[in-house]
Amino acid sequence: MSLLKIAALGTPVLRMRTQELTIEQLQSEPIQRLIDDMVATMRDAPGVGLAANQVYLPLRLAVVEVQAGDDQDSRERVPLTVLVNPRIARLSDATESAWEGCLSIPDLRGVVPRATEVDVEALDRAGNPVTIHASGFFARVLQHEIDHLDGYIYLDRMPDLTTLTYVKEFERYWLPASSAS
């Protein structure tokens, strides 16, 4: 496996709608290797999701994984999930605003409203159709990654840029306040 270079904000591929993969393409050795490399890159970054256009390939492919949190991290564990040609089939009307970051914008965080539940239809790594019902943090991550595949970044979803902050200041000023609640 190889670690891939992550595209930074401003790289044109991040603003492109990605191309769907055929079953033949998905099952090819280069795409299967790409999936392995994306997983390794996501884990090394470290991140909880990575879209193919974030590694300079305009393909409709993303990987997601949330490791079990420690005492300070209440996020639910999400097993490694490979999404091929994903689309959002349903969003709940209920929304929640929470902090997000992005491997393509490594030094910033901001508050983004997202649907609290989502149904996603996709193919798995083997090309089998899957429907994923997700809520909470998993739903947020899926929406974030599918946004990437549609050419959007989380900054586009922020209705109020006053929460946009550098990670260092987030950890100093905002994280202690959100931990106390």
Secondary structure element (H or E) that encloses residue 14, with its range: none
Other Cβ atoms within 10 Å of 119 Cβ, number: 16
Three-state DSSP at 162 gives helix
Is residue 77, in this structure, part of any structural domain at all? yes
Is residue 152, in this structure, part of any structural domain at all? yes
Residue pair 141/64 in contact (Cβ under 8 Å)? The answer is: yes
If you average pLDDT over every residue of the chain, what do you get? 94
CATH number at residue 86: 3.90.45.10
Other Cβ atoms within 10 Å of 103 Cβ, number: 20
52-72 pLDDT, tens digit each:
999 999 999 999 999 876 544
Parallel, antiparallel, or unpaired: how do β-strands 165-166 and 78-91 relate? unpaired
* Domain that includes residue 119, residue range: 12-180
Per-residue confidence (pLDDT) for residue 69, from 0 to 100: 63
Is residue 74, in this structure, part of any structural domain at all? yes
Is residue 1, in this structure, part of any structural domain at all? no
pLDDT of 11 > 70? The answer is: yes
Is residue 7, in this structure, part of any structural domain at all? no
Residue pair 84/127 in contact (Cβ under 8 Å)? The answer is: yes
145 is catalytic: yes
Number of domains within the chain: 1
Is residue 3, in this structure, part of any structural domain at all? no
Calculate the alpha carbon distances from 51 to 7, 17, 61, 152 in Å: 10, 12, 6, 11
77-99 pLDDT, tens digit each:
899 999 999 999 999 999 999 99
114-160 pLDDT, tens digit each:
999 999 999 999 999 999 999 999 999 999 999 999 999 999 999 99
Average pLDDT over residues 165-180: 82
Is residue 118, in this structure, part of any structural domain at all? yes
Both tokens assigned to 153: 């970044």
Single out the catalytic residue among 100, 145, 169, 171: 145
> What is the residue-wise DSSP string for 17-70?
PPBPPPHHHHTSHHHHHHHHHHHHHHHHTT-SEEEGGGGT--BSEEEEEEPPP-
Is residue 162, in this structure, part of any structural domain at all? yes
